[in-house]
Structure 1
Amino acid sequence: MTAFEMEDLAARGALLVGILIVLSRLAKAALERLNLPDLLGYLFIGMALRLVEGTGLLRFVDGPQVLSFLAQLGIVALLFRIGLECTPKNLLRRLSGATRIWIANITLSLGAVLGVALFLLDWALLPSLFAAVALTATGIGVSVRIWRHTDRLGSAKGALMLDVAELDDLSGVVLLALLTALVPQLQAGLSADLVGPMALTLGLVLGKLALLALGGLLFAQYLEHPLTHWLHDLQPRPDLMISVLGIGLVGAGLAALLGFSAAIGAFFAGLIFSRDPLSVKIDASFDSLSDLFIPFFFLHVGFALDLSLLFGNLGAVLLFFAAAVVGKGLGSFMPVMNRLRPSSALTFAVALVPRSEITLLVMQRGLDLGVVSPDAFAVVVAVVILTMGTVPLALRLLLPPVTTT
């Protein structure tokens, strides 16, 4: 390729990226006015882009390749942000109250979705496992917006909801790492001969996760605080966040060298910096970077979704939606039914039903590995869209605005 051709291709790529950024910002502003998650807008833009690409209008630029590259940056930024927003120290302090709910909703969600996939839809084992793991996660941002709007996020029930959602995210990331490592063995099918190799693989993965966690703990305990404050004194915001993000990318790369995806490393890097009080400032200055890169991951998911496949899988979508709602809802309702009034327990359970970022990340990972079919991917993405669209409506009915006198 000549220098002129490279320059021409770069200009076309810049045009596409610029258009997508503007459309993403417009979608975010519009959906915020409607009190709906901006993630929905990004998915729909990605779907529209796929339709446009099908007409051949994107042949002037390699749209899929550009979007795929930016999506990888978006995944790293997304998982770093999720890790940064976690509060492990506070979570450990309140762990006893959230653990029972977390175990119940993870177990019932996993079992309900796996049962539907294997026994009602006759899916293969691997796509069933990816769908089940994906739908154990909670998209708490969908509910937080409504709870904050009704001035209930600061209540004890709101804090408990956030704790359970954080545990859901943590377990979702760990389960993704374990499942990804087992893919080569599971592709050969289950047999007694594979029990030993699978146990060894799980042991190695858990050992690597422990090593990654230990390294992160040592860094957080002895290096993070002086490093962050030194960078803060050295550089004004947002330069501080750029340096912190650079360290996060190093962590993501090291995780990849251990055999994990860069997303896992980015999540642990975010956790490292979440313990420092200065992380509140870091988190605020990260908004611009996350708003730039994170939408590209959801655009890529929407672009990967073949809408034509949904028409032949509407029954599967409804079954999965029912399993996702019942599994997460019952798993969250039953442990608190003796602690809260029935109406409050129902509201709490509904708030934990939405699925979003981690769910899409798991399914995209399965699609990239070739173990999740486009049909299975489309079904779970449709379930995500349904939960994000219906739960805010339900919560508005269950959480009327607080009246002040």
Structure 2
Amino acid sequence: MHHVAEALLALGGAFLVCGLVARAGVPIGLPTIPLFMLAGVLLGPHTPGFVLVGEPADLELVARLGLVFLLFYLGLEFSLAQLTSGGRRLAAAAGVYLCLNIGGGLALGFALGWGTSEAFVIAGIVGISSSAIVTKLLVETRRLGNPETRVILGIIVIEDLFLALYLALLQPVLGGASGLAEAAAGIGIAFAFLLVLSVVARHGTRWVSALMRTRDEEIVVVLALGLAITTAGAGEHLGVSDAIGAFMIGLILAATPTARRLRQLTHPLRDGFGAIFFFHFGLTIDVGDVLAVLPQILAAAGTTVVLAVVAGVVAARLHGLGRLGAANIGLTVLTRGEFSLVLASLALAAGLDPRLGSFAAGYVLVLAVLGPIAVYSSPRLARGIPRRLVPGGSEPAGRSNGVPLDLDVGTSSLHELGTDLLQVRVLPGSRLHGVYMSELRLPDGATPGLLSRDGATSAVAPHTRLRTGDVLLVFTQPAQRHDTERRILAVHRSGKLAHWLGDTGT
């Protein structure tokens, strides 16, 4: 009983401390991930002073749930249809970014001389951005409407997909394979696991949708968590990372009609348990160990800055953007966060060089501070990019032909405007395919806004015809949201004659 009380006090204290440091840091523009990690460092057993959690193992299960929820929610954020919706230029930009940063990270890993397995882990730590911090920066800087933002979002989506493949490739490293045959077997099992889940995501959506089809939010959450944790556990049992299983089951559920509800219902779980994951990671870090690898951390941060800017320039050239677009792309995807720490945590659990944990912690902290500063300063920093490298686009905002712009454009949240936004994705097999906007007949107070198709975004018209893979944005008054969702669901199931067939979307 006494042990249970201590565990509850430690867990409650961890949640409370994470909330307090986030409340103090967010108003001054600091991302929450490094703040949670820093709280764990300061209140852990390796730092003199008050120790909140003396034994990190006490929070290990809750921290692993945080990892599962982080990757599960990441999978929920997009579906397999997004793999082909970005266009070749977007895929090329993301490919260049990954090749430069993963390749540069691998070269850095070998240069550090910590070992071959460690080099591949360092490549992942250095090579993949934090989708959470990137998205947060785009919102805070009011750049969601910028032309380069679609490129940035495309890069982080493809990065998120790549991480599942990279974790599979690293499975022999993280599993401690002792020879080539064992390594090949580990990769084969990981990819077979991915293949089975991918087939379910592609062809089993109907059965998964039937399982999740209920208006009871409690049942939806319980079923989703059961699927996520069970799949993660199955992956771990097969010698595959639990992170892969959680990500893939999220990807499967993203293709179901309940995806939007699941994102809303599981978002608090991701944030709450995710905070404990980062806090727990901080508990394992010794500040002295971080200082011991400070030169390597600074070398990695400098390499990342250079490679991110180069990738931004290449992406800007591919999309006809100017120097400001190049700077915004390169500097916005500069920050590292959740995946770097996830990978370091898995590497430590696999018994690799313990310096990896200190390296990842210091590296994430440095870029978490440097990244937001660079993003806010991008209009000024963009002028340092030679014009000949990025001939397209326009000059950094602020002046036009030497004359200051006298224009103030602000943004407002949909909540402030009293409007809800629905995202409708036309999935394979949906009866929405082939329906004209004039036939959709949404309730009064609901207005179709934008249509995303094949990487391009356009306004809709009555003669616009929906196709598989389309993403339709519908603006609706809160009072009409429920009726709008029911109408869309009815057409999804029964087509444009849903009303005559008696399908009301319930």
- 1:16 aligned onto 2:37: no
Match of residue 362, structure 1, among 343, 353, 356: 343
Kindly provide the amino acid, as one letter, of the partner of residue 343 in structure 1. Answer: L
| Residue in structure 2 matched with residue 139 of structure 1 by the alignment | 130
The change in CA–CA distance for 1:102 and 1:187 in structure 2 (over 3 A counts) is farther
| Residue in structure 2 matched with residue 180 of structure 1 by the alignment | 171
8 Å contact kept, 2:43–2:51: no
The change in CA–CA distance for 1:110 and 1:186 in structure 2 (over 3 A counts) is farther
Higher relative contact order (CA 8 A, sep 6+): 1
8 Å contact kept, 2:40–2:283: yes
- 1:206 aligned onto 2:191: yes
The change in CA–CA distance for 1:351 and 1:277 in structure 2 (over 3 A counts) is farther
CA RMSD, Structure 1 to Structure 2 (Å): 2.5
The change in CA–CA distance for 1:352 and 1:254 in structure 2 (over 3 A counts) is same
8 Å contact kept, 2:221–2:265: yes
More helix by percentage? 1
Kindly provide the amino acid, as one letter, of the partner of residue 327 in structure 2. Answer: L
| Residue in structure 1 matched with residue 62 of structure 2 by the alignment | 70
The change in CA–CA distance for 1:239 and 1:37 in structure 2 (over 3 A counts) is farther
Match of residue 27, structure 1, among 18, 21, 39: 21
DSSP-derived class of the 2:377 partner: helix
Matched length = 384
1: CA distance, partners of 2:188 / 2:226: 31
8 Å contact kept, 2:41–2:282: yes
Kindly provide the amino acid, as one letter, of the partner of residue 157 in structure 1. Answer: E
**Identical pairs, percent:** 22
Q: TM-score, normalising length from structure 1?
A: 0.87
**Which range moved further: 257-266 or 347-356?**
257-266
Matching of residues 2-401 of structure 1 within 5 Å: 7-51=1-45, 63-119=55-111, 121-182=112-173, 194=180, 198-199=183-184, 201-219=186-204, 221-230=205-214, 233=215, 235=216, 237-338=217-318, 339-371=320-352, 373-398=353-378
8 Å contact kept, 1:109–1:136: yes
1: CA distance, partners of 2:128 / 2:8: 35
8 Å contact kept, 1:354–1:384: yes
DSSP-derived class of the 2:213 partner: helix
2: CA distance, partners of 1:203 / 1:244: 27
8 Å contact kept, 1:50–1:304: yes
DSSP-derived class of the 2:334 partner: coil
Q: Which ranges in structure 2 are unaligned for 5 or more consecutive residues?
A: 380-396, 399-406, 411-506
Structure 1 residues 58-113: Cα deviation after superposition (integer angstroms, max 9, x where no partner): 6xx76322221211111111111111122432342114232112221111112212
DSSP-derived class of the 2:44 partner: helix
| Residue in structure 2 matched with residue 4 of structure 1 by the alignment | none
DSSP-derived class of the 1:340 partner: coil
| Residue in structure 1 matched with residue 452 of structure 2 by the alignment | none
8 Å contact kept, 1:106–1:168: yes
Kindly provide the amino acid, as one letter, of the partner of residue 225 in structure 2. Answer: L
| Residue in structure 2 matched with residue 403 of structure 1 by the alignment | 408
**Which range moved further: 394-403 or 87-96?**
394-403
The change in CA–CA distance for 1:40 and 1:184 in structure 2 (over 3 A counts) is closer
8 Å contact kept, 2:105–2:123: yes
**1:302 deviation in Å?**
0.8
The change in CA–CA distance for 1:200 and 1:288 in structure 2 (over 3 A counts) is closer
2: CA distance, partners of 1:56 / 1:387: 28
1: CA distance, partners of 2:188 / 2:115: 25
Structure 1 residues 296-354: Cα deviation after superposition (integer angstroms, max 9, x where no partner): 11011111111101222221111111122223332343232252102211111111111
8 Å contact kept, 1:173–1:358: no
8 Å contact kept, 2:315–2:326: no
8 Å contact kept, 2:201–2:255: no
2: CA distance, partners of 1:12 / 1:82: 32
Structure 1 residues 355-398: Cα deviation after superposition (integer angstroms, max 9, x where no partner): 11111111110011011x22232112211111111111111122
8 Å contact kept, 1:74–1:297: yes
Kindly provide the amino acid, as one letter, of the partner of residue 36 in structure 1. Answer: L
1: CA distance, partners of 2:244 / 2:49: 36
Q: Which ranges in structure 1 are unaligned for 5 or more consecutive residues?
A: 1-6, 189-193
DSSP-derived class of the 1:135 partner: helix
More strand by percentage? 2
